[in-house]
Amino acid sequence: MKHLGIEVSVKHVPELDPGFLPLGKFNAAFLKDAKQPLDVAVERAGGEVAVYKTFIHGTPEMAEADVYYVDRLIKMLLWMKGGFKVYLSGSKAVYEAMKATYCVGGKRAFDADFMSNVYEKPFEVVYCDAVPAEKSNPQAVGRHLGGCRIGFDAGGSDRKVSAVIDGEPVFSEEVVWFPKTTADPDYHYEGIVSALKSAAAHMPRVDAVGVSSAGIYIENRTMVASLFLKVPKDLFDAKVKDIYIRAIKDTFGDVPYVVANDGDVSALAGAMSLEENNILGIAMGTSEAVGYVDENGNITGWLNELAFAPVDVNPDAMEDEWSGDIGCGVKYFSQDSVIKLAPAAGINLSADLSPAEKLKEVQKLMEVPGSPAEAIYRSIGVYLGHSLALYHHFYGFKHVLLLGRVMSGRGGDIILDVCKQVLADEYPEIADKINPTLPDEKARRVGQSCRLPARAEVSRQAAIPALL
């Protein structure tokens, strides 16, 4: 397979998507003859900086390939670690191309605007003689359950709260609410406060509060979250960004607290269950949700929004409707992937069905051995094997927890088996360093529990109070 003059050798190709060209394979082939040093750094909140040192060709005939390679690299770094300022050194030509790409009217205008909103700073691409030094401040997670702690999980259809004294749950409550359809942020605030007070009523004091929800949280502030979908921007800025901070302080005063992405909390739960660190959690459901706990057992503060990170070089790859880019994870590791591949498997899904209903229809077909739907899951398994190798290059993880509705049932088993085969055949140098794992069936579906055979169960809900 060839792209932009780069010959790429691939043994395992998805049977329903033969045009798939793994980005990791392309990058490796590109770098074989690349000799000109090029450094990239991405700055995020708190002065933290991620640095990536690489090479390009730097020749006129390879100029297009150079620009493509660096564009995909920057995009990966932005959605993995986050950032509002990109530093480049080593090539003025590539810098000029990236400056024109990541700006208003550029091909990555969505990415630049998104990051600007998340970090509340103008997005920039700058050239420098030498990029800044690496700087990170991972959030140490003590995994302590001593004292009186509250864990609050804000879901899209219900909110859960628990009170824990010295590691033992003394109270839990689950309340139905409608945050995604409510425009008044006072509704959300009152619901959060009500939950916190319910838990506090069952303890002599409150020593710490942990909060988990889907979204992007920077320094405990809510920057992007689907719970507040209907809240107007002015009210979001005024009342939502600090909503958890206000709710905790108004209720308990000055107590320690952490607000974390639910993917990171799921990874933490997995780490606690395995009694291991360096874990990547991938939940394949409505989208691709990712969390990470590093080798020291810390939550990193990175975005880990790999749904928008590239995995496929194929110029005819499906476009993500939101970002306008192609080849991004959401179309490979979510219900969208199942739906995308169904026609190629000879499966006709009614246009009247919702995406979740279409997934259920395919899963019903999987109840019959030899179903044509099996090809869908084999294809996703190929996607996953190649993409885990790519993710490993950037994260260096040891364990992978595979969660979400797409991984449910026999289809999930097929995905895992094919994934392991691809890793063994195509990436033998790392295959024995990666341990992809499927939790129990309930955990696969909801992506909230990380129970593993022969190990203690630690659910995401149980892990929330241990954020401090």
Mean pLDDT, rounded, for 54-65? 98
Q: Are 42 and 80 in contact (CB under 8 A)?
A: no
2 occurs within a structural domain: no
Report how far residue 70's alpha carbon sits from residue 27's, in angstroms, rounded to the nearest whole number. 10
Residues 122, 166 within the same domain: no
* Alpha-carbon distances of 102 from 10, 43, 70, 113, 255, rounded to whole Å: 31, 15, 12, 9, 41
Which residue type does 310 have? P
Residue 19 lies in a domain: no
Phi, psi of 132 (to 5 degrees): -60, 160
CB atoms within 10 A of CB 128: 13
Say if 14 falls within a structural domain.
no
Number of domains in the chain: 3
Neighbours of 181 (CB within 10 A): 10
| Two structure tokens written together for 368 | 């019959």
Instruction: Grade residue 62 by pLDDT with cuts at 50, 70 and 90.
Output: very high
CB atoms within 10 A of CB 97: 21
Arithmetic mean of pLDDT, 285-307? 91
Name the residue with higher pLDDT: 2 or 313. 313
Residue 357 belongs to some domain of the structure: yes
Strand intervals (E) in 177-264: 208-213, 216-218, 221-224, 257-261
42 touches 50 (CB < 8 A): yes
Are 274 and 203 members of one domain? no
Query: What are 115's two structure tokens?
Result: 């990051």
In a domain, 397, yes or no: yes
Same domain for 279 and 226?
no
The reported pLDDT for the residue numbered 275 is: 84
- CA of residue 395 relative to chain centroid, distance: 12
**For the chain, first and last CA: distance in Å?**
49
Whether residue 407 is found in the same domain as residue 281: yes
Residues 117 and 202 in one domain: no
Nearest to 330 by CA among 346, 306, 354, 314: 306
Same domain, 250 and 319: no
Q: Are residues 401 and 462 in the same domain?
A: yes
Task: Return the residue matching tokens 């700073």.
Answer: 121
pLDDT band at residue 140, thresholds of 50, 70 and 90? low
Band (265; pLDDT cuts 50, 70, 90)? confident
pLDDT of 115 > 90? The answer is yes
Residue type, position 448, single letter: Q
74 occurs within a structural domain: yes
- Residues 286 and 425 both lie in one domain: yes
Same domain, 274 and 355: yes
Instruction: Compute the distance between CA of residue 112 and CA of residue 416 in angstroms, rounded to an integer.
Output: 35
The domain spanning residue 445 has which CATH number? 3.30.420.40
| Each residue's pLDDT tens digit, 382-396 | 999 999 999 999 999
Quick one: 106 exposed, middle or buried, by C-beta within 10 A (0-12, 13-18, 19+)?
middle
Of 233, 255, 277, the last residue of a domain is 255
Judge contact between 15 and 380, C-beta under 8 A.
no
For residue range 176-216, list pLDDT tens digits in order. Answer: 999 999 999 999 999 999 999 999 999 999 999 999 998 99
Name the domain boundary from 234, 255, 276: 255
* Domain-embedded: residue 134: no
Q: How many residues does the chain have?
A: 468
389 and 294 together in one domain: yes
Two structure tokens written together for 132: 């800044």
The whole-number pLDDT of residue 451 equals 33
Judgement on whether residues 104 and 189 belong to the same structural domain of the protein: no
**Rounded distance between C-alpha atoms, residue 255 and residue 467, angstroms:** 13
Task: Report the alpha-carbon distance of residue 55 to residue 33 in Å, rounded.
Answer: 9
Closest-CA residue to 244 (of 222, 229, 226) = 222
Residue 132 belongs to some domain of the structure: no
Which residues form the domain of 345? 264-467
Last residue within a domain, chosen from 230, 255, 280:
255
Q: How confident is the model at residue 449 (pLDDT cuts 50, 70, 90)?
A: very low
Are 282 and 400 in the same domain? yes
Given a contact cutoff of 8 angstroms between Cβ atoms, the answer to whether 19 and 327 are in contact is: no
For 9-33, the three-class secondary structure string (H helix, E strand, C coil) is CCCCCCCCCCCCCEHHHHHHHHHCC
